[in-house]
Chain A
Amino acid sequence: MKRLLELNNITKSFTGTKALSNVSFNLKQGEIHALLGENGAGKSTLIKIITGIHQPDEGEMILNGVEKVKFNTTNDSYDHGIAAIYQDASVFENLSIAENIFMGHQRVNKITRNIKWKDLYSRAEELIESLEVKIKPTTLVKNLSIAEKQLVEIVKALSANAKILIMDEPTSSLTKEEIDHLFKIAKKLKSEGTGIIFISHRLEEVFEIADRVTVIRDGQFIGTENVTDIDTNKLVQMMVGRSIDNFYPKSEVEIKEPILAVEGLCRKGEFNNVSFQVHEGEILGMSGLIGAGRTEIACAIYGITRPEGGKILFNGKEISINHPAEALEAGIAYLSESRGEFGLVLPLDIMANITIPVLKETVKAGFIRKNIEKKMTREYVELLDIRCSGMGQKVESLSGGNQQKVAIAKILIARAKVIILDEPTKGIDVGTKAAVHELVNELAKAGKAIILISSEIPELIGMSDRILVIHEGKIVRDLERKNFTQERILSAALGELDS
């Protein structure tokens, strides 16, 4: 089969730090090639070199086995039929779907140079339909759900009728059905001879869809395998350099008193009549599709938004929480799913980030005492073994996994009794993932009540004592551990109740 793309001994460094060294990679026509590696392994950098956002310091890029190419802008790669879907949907909120799809590539009238709107919208219409989705191309993107924005991204890529399609964690914020849909599309394209580079942290997805898989670690090329020749453990080994025998070590903890209870919690358009209890030592899983209302419920409990009905009981006493500060005061902590936006202050150092919730404890006579702060921080840096050059290192220069650890440390330092973890392992590498799971168990052992929100059903099944399934803002299932099955949870999440 013909080679669409060949990268030979690519090296790239940013201000001293080598992001890639001698990485080679190739993509055949009509194949789906998975690109795996822990966070900061260099996957995105490789992708950005292929799309022309970055230029390699060394190494060569060969198209169709013959043409040596060098891309200086994304337009160059676009013109060579390379299109990419980025994980963080990069869309223009205030522009229409159609404009988002064709921005920078609108067809214009030869003489008057004005954009051919009719043509634009009709082409957009076709493309959207080809995905069997129903959205008006004139809709402003800011009115779409995250998933729909992802789809816009995909359509954008298709519009290039690309020979090479790069999917950088396209599934990280899609629901199961949307993922299946996406895979259908991917396979369709594949059958038409398109080569697809597929990046994901969900190994099962890799096995489901990829033909070959290439692993890079710390900017080094580790190897390329046929998916049929390897299994999960082998793959994990390649990624982390060590094997992880047990992904989800569930340790039995005796469940004590109920500590937090919500009764008939409502908020128009988000969730309705939500009631549940969580006990000390319990890990309460929360499943459901993106946008089902899981995060909204958490935010309402944590005081980001105001519930419009129902009540929250803490240790049996009704409490009203109007601000996260009050939640923390009461003993409820929340880890947001997007750490960059809501979790961390990237430009500040680790110390400053971790101590935010307990700043007053670092203060003596009005001044922050660095030594106290250091002591408090070190404890958690060691506990979570955050890999850093020191407590003064800026968080933005940490790897994704370590950033997440810092975010978690911030939750722990608040000494909350109830901890809400929203997608704590989203987009972090397998190694850290295991560490996080370990930690969650530890917390449960220590008698904390934990609400674990996750889109990864295996994770929920592995970790939880009980699982609530949310669908369209309502709790549709409350499963005991003994009744956990992928199918039950999924069908409930999709709203197909088999009662």
Chain B
Amino acid sequence: MDKKIGILLILVLIAGVGLLFAGGAGEAEGGAEAEGYTLAWVPKGLGHPYFDSCYDGAKEAAAEYGDEIFEVGPDDWSVEGQISVVESLIDQKVDCIGIAANDMDALAPVCKKAMEAGIPVVGWDAAVAPDARVTFVNQASFEGLGRGMAQAMAELVDYEGQIGILSATPQAPNQRKWLAWVKEEYTDPKYKDMEIVDVVYGDDMSEKSYDKALGLMKAYPDLKGILGLSAVATPAAAAAVTDKGMIGKVLVTGMGIPSTMKNYVLEGSCPKFLLWNTIDLGYVATSIMHKVCEGEFEGNLGDEIKLGRATLGEPDSVYEVIEGEDGDTIVLLGPPMAFDESNIEKWAAIF
């Protein structure tokens, strides 16, 4: 009796695990095709809507060029995880790797290794060190977005009062650059009546960000606004404001994904926020990956490439390699785009 159940248990487990293998393998098949290049799409981590919408764009481009593209990433969003993913991609001899680096320097060595192994690396969303990549598709210049968010915040609280900043993980390179630019912008005298009282970190986890936002409002009763520096932080802050019934008293802005921000925009807890078109980001990055494989594109300063379709940033769908803020060479997706009740409905439907 006991024995039967014991064995049964094992069988169930084996079956279960087996199925999961099958399931997993199945997912991996996605978009597989005979000819064309094999492109590896490496987000910062799995299970995040932002990166999912990027992948949608990537798949669109891959389909366009008849390439196979697949998504692999660390489920724990760790640097180590991402490194071992790239390690295995090298062994798999994929044709090109597109990566959103969890850490600019930490990923550099392994990306170099990939390049040495003849696998070009294209950065997107978050850069790897310049010498470890062909090029980097920058969704929006850090300056542009940083200053943009700062101004948006200022307009909402009309240039006076305390504001708190809710950022993602402490190490995240983008957030740190944006934060720098936000502070830079606020050095301008016209913001003299505004004060950044605190910068807190929600580790890109909703509930932690949410608790941090509550914490901000508690610790600074006169708080006028919260600036969310990540697609997770902003909705979390807005949710906190809404739940505390502080709509109008505390205003939230920053960057976010339309589908997750829609309700807040309509409720008024976050009347306005910024972002780029994530689908375009994926689309452009993948197109470039293809061109790189074709050898049509080396990412030298001034190189131009024409994409299959127009995008928000480049209506004429021609992109040029320009000088980045850190003196590196990048492809700029375009200006950040503002979402408010006028256009939220439309975009929320898209991503």
- Judged by CB atoms under 8 Å, the answer to whether A and B touch is no
Binding site for A on B (CB under 8 A): none
